[in-house]
Amino acid sequence: MNGQDDSRAAAAGDDATRSTAAPSPLAPRPSPLDPCPSSLAFTAGFVERVRASFGRQGAMALIGAQLLDVQPGYCSIALVPRPELCQQHGYVHAGILATLVDSAGGYAGYTLFPNDSSVLTVEYKLNLLAPAEGERIVAAGYVVKAGRTLTITRGEVHAERAGARTLVAIMQQTLMAMHGKSDNSA
Amino acid sequence: MNGQDDSRAAAAGDDATRSTAAPSPLAPRPSPLDPCPSSLAFTAGFVERVRASFGRQGAMALIGAQLLDVQPGYCSIALVPRPELCQQHGYVHAGILATLVDSAGGYAGYTLFPNDSSVLTVEYKLNLLAPAEGERIVAAGYVVKAGRTLTITRGEVHAERAGARTLVAIMQQTLMAMHGKSDNSA
Amino acid sequence: MNGQDDSRAAAAGDDATRSTAAPSPLAPRPSPLDPCPSSLAFTAGFVERVRASFGRQGAMALIGAQLLDVQPGYCSIALVPRPELCQQHGYVHAGILATLVDSAGGYAGYTLFPNDSSVLTVEYKLNLLAPAEGERIVAAGYVVKAGRTLTITRGEVHAERAGARTLVAIMQQTLMAMHGKSDNSA
Amino acid sequence: MNGQDDSRAAAAGDDATRSTAAPSPLAPRPSPLDPCPSSLAFTAGFVERVRASFGRQGAMALIGAQLLDVQPGYCSIALVPRPELCQQHGYVHAGILATLVDSAGGYAGYTLFPNDSSVLTVEYKLNLLAPAEGERIVAAGYVVKAGRTLTITRGEVHAERAGARTLVAIMQQTLMAMHGKSDNSA
């Protein structure tokens, strides 16, 4: 099921006291968290490790997910919507979005883990912002804090439709590194 | 990806100061939240509405989920694991568990909504507790607080294996009722 | 800021198709998670350790929180509301409720940790269900899954007013045991 | 209680296969969510409304929080640590951090709400990343999706110490606009 609450866009124009923000040139600008900082320590061969692990996931093949981009502390996964991935209103099911973004966050973290480790999702929280429909769904995950045991990520899911991108879901996630247990062990 | 941290069971016996709790008969007992209280106001025909909505979800058919039980403020959904539902270690993918328990919670809330409404997931948070494997996975959701606009649920996922049930995931979820938009509208 | 969405109680009576659930005696009853199971392995002296740690927390004294009950895998904390604990509408601030229930969950987990360890909150998620007001606020936390490294809890906050208890918040939390670092180390 | 897992910084250097990422100039760069986009519709007088509401919160005065910056869809709040705000290890209590960042997110949303409305926190999720200590703690919240009924925010808490800023907590939050109920109504 997908969250949506789009009535505001229409309603905004009704209120004469509303204005479009003209950002003051003097206003202090907060700096957003960088989803791909240049200072992360990663492990050589991380792209190959992520690709091999992704290929071992039956669920990724079932839904038709494709690995899009792997960088240190960053991963994105794409999906082309089709009816059997949808909920009762014809939008991509929230569980499918969750599958994508949970995996994107997990592999974002995994790029920074040692070779003889695997990655587990401890927990995540997902907000659904708009119906997911269009030509392509792209989920991206990035590391916010890398730790030896626990790694924290954020993720976003966008739907691409007719040349426009809509933010449809955001995630916050906790990962755990399993040291001494490589990803391809039984 | 599935969370697990099972080393404690083995480690517990190593510590001579550990004991198995002998609950004092005098100890005040907290009362757990009842997943199926008798005082919820529901809407006639709720079982049929839930079954019809479930049938419209392509994603439920894709993964092979089956509606197990529908009661006022309660819903459970079952799944038989198979390789294409799994992650790289052979356990049911967290995204599949999320799909199940998100839907169970959503339909638990929907049993209490008016006929001309539909249900959207605003957000949920999922903790993964143990690897999901076995003959059957059962996700249950139940309403904790029902509101006109927002309804809050909790959910649990158990794996059934060789006659034993293991708690593999727990969820906390916010739903939104979309009034005036029935579930089967385009 | 406190969440509330109480319009439903009033609205429920407007809908002729609503009924109060008469629970069928044949209906299968889901079993709720027990907030105080008898099978948890705990560590001797846990009540004293929790009390000592609680006493070292300046924030607990500042808000006037009192340790109410400590059992294996369970802890409750009470608070008497006063104006300086409130938000702009006169209800107890969500941050104060969070402080209470985060601590209750943390100490619930800590009862099961070894003596030479301390407890850290990795993350939690809090839903605010109703305004928090009354003679007393009680937050309870209980262990859902105990692990060597990570322990998962749930928590609930009730407001007591004129002899009635209202559920005002629910929580789901991840804790981490810091082995070899006792709670009273600098 | 505060989460920390700082062993990785020290451990990273031990692994000969680790490198510091030299970001490829050709690599596609994901764009982070902008915490202060220029396209948000806001309501005239929002700074005064936020300041007045902040002043009515007893809890903000109790902990010594100060409103730092208010922009359309953005708010930051500062705090100077002192012992009575701390947990047992001497770091600022997670509940205090939660109070700050919940309020920062809530007021970020409130800048976009109509005059005759107030803001409620439906829920939030907080990850604790590092111990909070230093000369000043700054919590910032920003709107990710603004809706008529629900608004979604993210937040970050930094600790400032000896000229350096450390990210100590991140939040994801759901707000609800209460239309027709102004913030200063009883």
Is the pLDDT confidence value at C82 over 70?
yes
CA dist D185 to A182, B16, D56, D118, Å? 59, 59, 11, 9
Residue C164, token pair as written in the block: 């009635």
Check D41 against A19: CB less than 8 A apart.
Answer: yes
What is the structure's pLDDT at D35? 55
From the list B106, B123, B128, the residue facing A123 with the nearest CB is B128
Does residue C98 have a pLDDT over 70? yes
Mind giving me the DSSP string for A134-170?
SSEEEEEEEEEEE-SSEEEEEEEEEEEETTEEEEEEE
Mean pLDDT, range D8-24, rounded to an integer: 38
pLDDT of residue C182: 81
Higher-pLDDT residue of C146, A8: C146
pLDDT digits (tens, 9 = 90+) for B152-180: 999 999 999 999 999 999 999 999 999 98
Q: Choose among B20, B43, B73: nearest Cβ to C18.
A: B43
Mean of pLDDT over chain C: 82
pLDDT at residue number A35: 54
Per-residue model confidence (pLDDT) at position D92: 94
Between chain C and chain D, how many beta carbons pairs sit less than 8 Å apart? 154
Looking at residue A19, what is its pLDDT?
44
Q: In the predicted model, what is the mean pLDDT of residues D83-103?
A: 90
Tell me the backbone φ, ψ of residue C21, rounded to 5 degrees: -60, 125
- The mean pLDDT value for D69-91 works out to 91
Count chain B–chain C contacts defined by CB atoms under 8 A. 162
Per-residue confidence band for D71, with pLDDT thresholds at 50, 70 and 90: very high
- Determine the pLDDT at residue B31: 52
How many angstroms away from the CA of A169 is the closest CA of chain B? 9
Task: Give the per-residue pLDDT at C20.
Answer: 44
ipTM greater than cut 0.90:
no
> CB–CB of D127 and A21 under 8 A?
no
Q: How far is CA B72 from CA B50, B107, B111, B170, C11, in A?
A: 11, 10, 6, 20, 17
CB contact (8 A) between residue C124 and residue D126:
yes
Contact A170 D172 (CB under 8 A): yes
How much is the mean pLDDT over chain B?
A: 82
Over range C20-28, report the average pLDDT.
40
What average pLDDT does this structure show over B134-149?
A: 96
A12: confidence class by pLDDT, cuts 50, 70, 90: very low
Tell me how far apart the 2 most distant CA atoms of chain B are, in Å. 63
Model confidence over A57-99: pLDDT tens digits?
A: 888 999 999 999 999 999 999 999 998 898 878 899 999 999 9
Cα dihedral D1→D7→D9→D12 (10° resolution): -150
User: In the prediction, which pLDDT does B174 show?
Assistant: 98
pLDDT attached to residue C184: 74
| Contact state of C121 with D1 under an 8 Å Cβ cutoff | yes
What pLDDT score was predicted for residue D181?
Answer: 82
pLDDT of C10 above 70: no
Contacts of B149 in chain D (CB under 8 A): 149, 176
Q: How many CB pairs under 8 A join A and D?
A: 157
Q: Do C30 and B76 touch (CB under 8 A)?
A: yes
User: What percentage of chain D has pLDDT greater than the value 70?
Assistant: 76
The more confidently predicted of residues A59 and A183 is: A59
Closest of D66, D85, D86, D64 to residue D76, by C-alpha = D66
Residues of A with a Cβ under 8 Å from any C Cβ are 122-123, 125, 149-150, 174, 176
Confidence bin at C185 (pLDDT 50/70/90) = low
Give me the residue from C7, C38, C150 closest to B21, CB to CB: C38
The two structure tokens encoding residue A1: 């099921």
Residue C162 in tokens: 């004129």
Q: In D, which residues are within 8 Å of A172 by CB distance?
A: 125, 127, 170-172
Q: What is the pLDDT of residue B34?
A: 57
CA–CA distance, D161 with C117 (Å, rounded to integer): 27
Q: What is the pLDDT of residues B15-53, one digit of tens each?
A: 334 444 433 333 444 555 655 555 566 777 899 999 999
Give me the pLDDT at residue C24, please: 38
Which chain A residue lies closest to C175 (C-alpha atoms)?
A122
Determine the residue type at A72.
Answer: P
More confident residue, D96 or A40: D96
DSSP D92: B
Residue of chain A nearest C147, judged by CA positions: A122
Q: Do D122 and B122 touch (CB under 8 A)?
A: yes
Using a CB-CB cut-off of 8 Å, the residues of chain D touching A23 are 36, 38, 71
Q: What pLDDT is recorded for position D165?
A: 95
User: DSSP character for A61?
Assistant: H
Cβ pair D54, D119 in contact under 8 A: no
- Is the Cβ pair C114, B17 closer than 8 Å? yes
Residue that the structure tokens 């390789």 belong to: B83
Measured CA to CA, the distance from residue A141 to residue A155 in angstroms comes to 4
Model confidence at D90, in pLDDT bands (50, 70, 90)?
A: confident
Q: Which residue has better confidence, D107 or C115? A: D107
**Residue D98 C-alpha from the chain's centroid:** 8
What mean pLDDT comes out for the span A120-132?
96
Rounded CA-CA distance A15/C19 in Å is 40
Instruction: Name chain C contacts of B7, Cβ cutoff 8 Å.
Output: 147-149
Sign of CA dihedral D96, D99, D100, D102: positive
Across the interface, do A96 and B95 touch by the CB < 8 Å criterion? yes
Contacts of B13 (CB under 8 A, 6+ apart): none
The radius of gyration of chain B from alpha carbons, rounded to an integer in Å, stands at 18
Q: How far apart are CA C77 and CA C60, in angstroms?
A: 10
Grouping H, G, I as helix, E, B as strand and the rest as coil, residue C96 is helix
Residue C17 scores a pLDDT above 70: no
Q: Is C71 a residue whose pLDDT tops 90? A: yes
- Closest approach of A58 to chain D, Cα-based (Å): 27
C158 pairs with which residues across the strands? C138, C167
CA distance, residue C170 to nearest chain A CA (Å): 15
The partner residue sitting opposite D121, judged by closest CB among C2, C84, C120, is C2
Element spanning A105, H or E: helix A94-110
- Gap between the Cα atoms of B67 and B61, Å rounded: 11
Question: How far is residue A68's CA from residue A13's CA, in Å, rounded to a whole number?
Answer: 39
Q: What is the mean pLDDT of residues A31-53?
A: 73
Sort out which chain A residues have CB atoms less than 8 A from C174's CB and list them. 122-123, 174
Query: For D35, which of A32, A73, A167 is closest by C-beta distance?
Result: A32
- pLDDT, position A115: 86
Q: What is the pLDDT of residues D19-70, one digit of tens each?
A: 444 333 334 445 556 555 555 667 778 999 999 999 988 889 999 999 999 9
Tell me, what's the pLDDT at D26?
38
Subunits touching B (CB < 8 Å, at least 3 pairs)?
A: A, C, D
Q: Which chain B residue's Cα is nearest to A6?
A: B178
For chain D, percent of residues with pLDDT exceeding 90? 63
Task: List the structure tokens of C110.
Answer: 């800590």
- Shortest CB distance from C41 goes to which of B18, B43, B129? B18
Cα end-to-end distance, chain A, whole Å: 34
Interface contact D21-A6, CB threshold 8 A? no
For C99-108, the pLDDT digits (tens) are: 999 999 999 9
- Partner residue opposite D87 with nearest CB, options C59, C128, C185: C59
Give the helix ranges, DSSP H, for B64-138: 94-110
How close does chain C come to B82, measured CA to CA in Å?
A: 26
User: Which pLDDT tens digit goes with each residue over D161-175?
Assistant: 999 999 999 999 999
Identify the closest residue of chain C to B128 by CA–CA distance.
Answer: C152
For residue B126, the chain D residue with the least C-alpha distance is: D125
Contact C121 D2 (CB under 8 A): yes
Please tell me the predicted confidence (pLDDT) of residue A28. Answer: 42
Check CB contact under 8 Å for C98 and D99.
yes
Contact B123 D149 (CB under 8 A): no
